[in-house]
Structure 1
Amino acid sequence: MNRRATTAAIAVSLASALTLTACGGSGGDSVAADAKQTLTVWAMGTEGEKLADVAKDYEKANPKITVKVTPIGWDVAHQKLVAAAAANKLPDVMQMGGSYLTEFADMGALEPIDTKTFQEKDYFPAGWEQGEYDGKAYGVPWYVDTRVLYYRTDLAEKAGIDKAPATMAELKQAAEKYQKAGSRYGLSIQPNGLDSVQSFYQFLYSAGGEIVTKDGKAVANSPKAVKALENYTSYFKDGLAAKSVRPGYDVTKDFNTGNVAMFFGGPWHMGLLDDNYPNLKGKWAIANVPTDETSASMAGGSSLAVSSDSEHKAAAQEFIQYLTDAKGQSDWFERTKDLPANVNAWKSGELATDPNMKVWKTQMESARVSPSQPKWTEITSKIDAAIEKAAQGKTSAKAALDEAQSQIEGLIQK
């Protein structure tokens, strides 16, 4: 879900070791897929906890295979992966966040996937692209993630709002109306801190802006990007959004009380609202990102990758296939509500009939993928800093992005 921890210092300190120990992979003779063996798997956050149950079902159907799942917190995931790669101790199969895969593929720590077994046409384009680097596919999309607009329908009626905002101009107007009707903040967006960029992407991409183009050109201070940040930070300037939020802030609490009337959220927020605030049922809805030049959101999610040093590549591939085909993806959705990356999973059941799922599917079809850059974590940290400076009124949007642009240019790999 792109819920990552920044550990740039560790990545830099171990990069040379990774280059020496992980490039190309040693692996040795790979064990046959049907031989008795143990697969080691690392998965993050909630996925790590839920995957153990799926692994048990897999073992029943494949008695020669033992699947050892290790759950890892997102806050330490990057650090552990880097350290394991440097020591040649990566697991056979690992979950890779969208911002991780390029970095580890560049290091030579991942095995290219078999594109005859896993075919691009079966997955959302944005999901597939997250697993690609330097012309090769290194990850199989496991689930996808994007952002849509959550809004309080009951408060909308009181505020004289009769439909979801369809344009960025209407979004601003709605925020003002919600506030006049009693909400403390019309919209919750992130003004500072780690991954503020994920909140900003909806404005940036919908305005037609980018940070880095696919061919490796920095465009963080383009007129479209500046326009997007000016729009974004106007919510703080006008008091329509909070100028600071504490780490770990849970927007659903303020959404429940009505202190926040709208926010951009991921699919897991639906479950949080249903589980924690059942009295709110029927009082909120979701809608696609309001249009500027277009309606575009960030593409997140995770892929499953195989270590280049694994001695169990054949069995690892079969386990990944089990998790990522249409049946496996439908089952995973039932367990976690993670959005399936496999488009065939959306053809039946709740995924095909639920109106909310249509909103997610439409948004996912236009979602934008971050370019394949090994230092993407460092690159986006410069945008985080620019957002904070502009949001706090320390500098203009243009000046903040000009500074970020100069820093990003030195981090790009062409």
Structure 2
Amino acid sequence: MHRTARTASAAVALAAMFGISACGGSGGADVAADEKQTLTVWAMGTEGEKLGDVAADYQKKNPHVTVKVTPVGWDVAHQKLVSAAAAGGLPDVMQMGSTFMGEFAELGVLEPVDTKRFEKADFFPAAWEGNVVDGTVYGVPWYVDTRVLFYRTDLAEQAGFDKAPATWAEMAELATAYQKKAGTEWGISLQPYNLDAWQNWLPFFYSSGGELIKDGKPALDGEAAVNSLAEYASYFEKGLAKKSVQPGYDVIKDFGDGSVPMFLSGPWQTTNIAENQPQLKGKWAAAPIPAGDSSTSFAGGSSLVVSKDSEHKAAASEFIAYLTDPGVQADWYERTTDLPAVAAAWNEGKLASDPDLKTFRTQMESAKAIPALAKWAEIGSKIDTAIESVTQGKADPEEAAKKMQSETVGLVE
């Protein structure tokens, strides 16, 4: 999952300026899938850099289709998509970050998914649900990520632990033991504030039984919110986590030198650790999120969507079907380390045998989706503010939860 700082309301205003209606564009006559044609595709970040090679393989098998891939940086992706939507210039196929989905579905520029061709049962449930808006599916999951616990096993042994913490109580106990018995500066790294702090807190909230949206409204002031904010804040109150970090702080260096022996993050960190902290080989592991009421993380990643105005919807569907074939998904992991959204792709090779990757699969099977909301960026910002208020001692968890609820209720339609 990726997100740039922006607001959904700004996107809607820009769309209105250019005349995009809530029901979307008119579309056009669709070119048959087997006719000669050019398919335009936008992909972001590393995916944009790597997809061209996969597209070339596809073209060898389908010479009547030219696939033109345009790489787009994540830092400009949102604005580029909004501007193209407003101008009627979206490509046939787009990579859609999970926190973008609700916004662009509301703009009416996405073609609904053919759920007879692409079936929910083939994908991780949370990855699929993140593409559903008002009962309609707008995206096909491409790759997934989720948050798990990374911890230094060698330092845990020094602290008297021979296995990963399985509960909140055990995680707090290990964080304390890291400092007192293994001599680490901190017990854990959790984000105290700044953009997307909600990504560290949400596993606590979901593991408390929380639901972001209930009966069409935010549910951020209940027992789950208060308990999870209190648990999260306790690490800062006890001096187990830094109360101040710089924007863009990369925990991996501190993980490598042992000053921070534990943190929550996503699958890209496995490669990051291997490449940038090779001395840690055999000295760390990934484990499921320690449980409150349950061990529940959230599902992120990206999906593939088709423009409502595309005249190549049939070919677009064929290309998306190719990219979500289990074999191609497994190959895509080898190229990018993106975790497959298709469950069957996990049954062979490293995806099936690597213990840390198995942890991500286990976590994804119980993960919850982030609801596809048009104003998610604004909602996330309000949650970030609530997190900061408790980690910095400006509000107690109950006060923060009430404010979080009152400030988000008007952002959910």
**Runs of 4+ with >4 A deviation:** none
- The whole-number CA distance in structure 2 between the counterparts of 1:154 and 1:387 is 31
Quick check: 1:10–1:79 contact (8 Å CA) kept in 2? no
1:274 to partner: Cα distance: 0.8
Match of 1:374 in 2: 374
Match of 2:42 in 1: 42
Quick check: 1:164–1:287 contact (8 Å CA) kept in 2? yes
Match of 1:191 in 2: 192
Query: How do 1:251-400 and structure 2 match up within 5 A?
Result: 251-400=251-400
Match of 2:218 in 1: 218
1:20 to partner: Cα distance: 2.8
Quick check: 1:145–1:339 contact (8 Å CA) kept in 2? yes
- The whole-number CA distance in structure 1 between the counterparts of 2:263 and 2:55 is 35
Query: Structure 1, residues 42-96: CA drift from partner, whole Å, max 9, x if none?
Result: 1111111111111111122222222111122222211111111111111110011
SS of alignment partner, residue 94 of structure 1: strand
Equivalent pairs, count:
411
Q: Determine whether 1:201 maps to 2:202.
A: yes
- List runs of 5+ in structure 2 lacking aligned partners: none
1:12 to partner: Cα distance: 4.2
1:109 to partner: Cα distance: 0.5
Quick check: 2:101–2:373 contact (8 Å CA) kept in 1? no
1:334 to partner: Cα distance: 1.2
Quick check: 1:210–1:225 contact (8 Å CA) kept in 2? no
Match of 2:249 in 1: 249
Query: Structure 1, residues 345-385: CA drift from partner, whole Å, max 9, x if none?
Result: 11222222222222111100110112232212211111011
Match of 1:100 in 2: 100
SS of alignment partner, residue 228 of structure 2: helix
Quick check: 2:42–2:72 contact (8 Å CA) kept in 1? yes
- The whole-number CA distance in structure 1 between the counterparts of 2:356 and 2:401 is 35
Quick check: 2:131–2:372 contact (8 Å CA) kept in 1? no
Letter matched to residue 366 of structure 2: S
1:296 to partner: Cα distance: 0.3
Quick check: 2:98–2:372 contact (8 Å CA) kept in 1? no
Query: Structure 1, residues 217-271: CA drift from partner, whole Å, max 9, x if none?
Result: 2211112211100110111111111112212111111100111100111111001
CA distance change for structure 1 residues 19 and 237 in 2, over 3 Å: closer, same or farther?
Answer: farther
Quick check: 1:18–1:107 contact (8 Å CA) kept in 2? no
1:13 to partner: Cα distance: 2.7
- The whole-number CA distance in structure 2 between the counterparts of 1:38 and 1:352 is 36
1:173 to partner: Cα distance: 0.7
1:131 to partner: Cα distance: 1.4
Percent of aligned positions that are identical: 60
SS of alignment partner, residue 143 of structure 1: strand
Match of 1:178 in 2: 178
1:23 to partner: Cα distance: 3.1
Match of 1:7 in 2: 6
Quick check: 2:31–2:312 contact (8 Å CA) kept in 1? yes
Match of 1:110 in 2: 110
Quick check: 2:15–2:85 contact (8 Å CA) kept in 1? no
- List runs of 5+ in structure 1 lacking aligned partners: none
Letter matched to residue 113 of structure 1: V
Say what the alpha-carbon RMSD is for the aligned residues.
Answer: 1.4
1:97 to partner: Cα distance: 1.0
Quick check: 2:221–2:405 contact (8 Å CA) kept in 1? yes
When normalised by structure 1's length, the TM-score is 0.96
1:18 to partner: Cα distance: 6.4
When normalised by structure 2's length, the TM-score is 0.96
Query: How do 1:62-81 and structure 2 match up within 5 A?
Result: 62-81=62-81
1:21 to partner: Cα distance: 5.2
Letter matched to residue 139 of structure 1: G
